[in-house]
Amino acid sequence: MFTEETDLIRHLVADNRKLQQLYLAERQKALTERKRRIVAEARLAAFLGKKIIERRWRNSYNLLEGGRNVNSTDSWHEDQTALIFTNNTSKYRKNNSTSESNTEYTASSARNMQDVNISKTNLLHSVRSSKHSIDPLNSKTNSAQFSSTVKLPQSNFEKSGSTALSKFWLFIDRNGETKSTPPQLNQIQQKRKEAFIRRSIERQILIQEASARRKELAAAKRKIAKQLLAGHKVNRNAVQMLSLMDREIHAFPPQAMKHETIRRICKTREFRKKEMRQRKEYDVHINRLLAYCYSQVPYKLYQRH
């Protein structure tokens, strides 16, 4: 018997170890997948940032030269979507721990953006100085167009990043599980309030209908009683009408009211305490009975077994 128990315990311990190893392996897979996804998003953000900077620099150069790019409107919309994506990925990276490659890509993208901005400002100053002596009116219009084209995506980028982030992102835990956001407390309370108000209105309607029927019955009884006291002849249904009682008119079925009353009483603290006390007394009596039964068994029976 002892050997069987030890074998069972060994099997259980082995199964627990296997399950623990499987759990650790799945957790490691989830962590690696999460790191890989973050690194891929960082690479894509850096690539899109470079493309946006090159496209802006090209458009600004064409505007300052006096020409007009044909694909400026299409590229502006593409820049908008790319900027929104880069903003979302940057905010997501701030809330989560990234790997070394992620930091390298973000640092390189920031350095590239800074270098291109410096070169862009130098180019702008040089072109303005050359254009100012030839055509001052054209230089003013071009500078205004350039400032409008540069500032407009930034403002849209700031507005869209703050409003659209919480709706489209789902954060992943360390064990690889994704949890949806629970409903807010005011939404739950609003739903409960609406259901409570609806049930209360239905109950009030039933109670008012029952009270109206009781009033009609009382008025009919009073009318028949007046006719009898005056000595007038009454209908044959007068006795049946007088025998009716107000308590026989119910707003709710008696069985349902009984069930509801029992349910509410069972929820009270006093009822639970009483039930627990009765259960303890019942257990005490059972233990006493069993002790008495065991005491009546002779000692020789134990020796035989």
Least confident window among 20-24, 60-64, 153-157, 266-270: 153-157
- pLDDT band at residue 103 under the 50/70/90 scheme: very low
Last residue of a domain, one of 128, 146, 168: 168
* Dist. CA 278–CA 280, nearest whole Å: 5
- Domain assignment present for residue 106? The answer is yes
As to burial, measured by CB atoms within 10 angstroms (0-12 exposed, 13-18 middle, 19+ buried), residue 231 is exposed
- pLDDT band at residue 283 under the 50/70/90 scheme: very high
CA dist list (Å): 256 to 196, 203, 205, 215, 263: 18, 13, 17, 24, 10
Check residues 235 and 250 and name the one with the higher pLDDT: 250
Contact 170, 37 (CB under 8 A): no
Count of domains in the chain? 3
248 with 265, same domain?
A: no
136 with 270, same domain?
A: no
Contacts of 31 (CB under 8 A, 6+ apart): 174, 176
206 with 266, same domain?
A: no
- Domain assignment present for residue 174? The answer is no
Token pair in block for residue 193: 């309030």
93 with 198, same domain?
A: no
- Domain assignment present for residue 23? The answer is yes
Q: Rg (Cα) of the chain, in Å, rounded?
A: 42
18 with 96, same domain?
A: yes
Least confident window among 8-12, 62-66, 166-170: 166-170
3-state secondary structure of 166: helix
21 with 102, same domain?
A: yes
191 with 245, same domain?
A: yes
Last residue of a domain, one of 102, 136, 168: 168
Contact 178, 171 (CB under 8 A): yes
- Phi/psi for 4 (5° steps) reads -65, -40
Q: Which domain holds residue 300?
A: 261-305
- Domain assignment present for residue 192? The answer is yes
Mean pLDDT over each residue of the chain, to the nearest integer: 71
Contact 142, 64 (CB under 8 A): yes
Q: How does pLDDT run across 244-277, given as a tens digit for each residue? A: 888 888 888 888 889 989 999 999 999 999 999 9
- Domain assignment present for residue 279? The answer is yes
51 with 102, same domain?
A: yes
57 with 87, same domain?
A: yes
287 with 196, same domain?
A: no
- Domain assignment present for residue 141? The answer is yes
Q: How does pLDDT run across 48-64, given as a tens digit for each residue? A: 888 888 877 777 777 66
Last residue of a domain, one of 144, 168, 192: 168
64 with 104, same domain?
A: yes
155 with 136, same domain?
A: yes
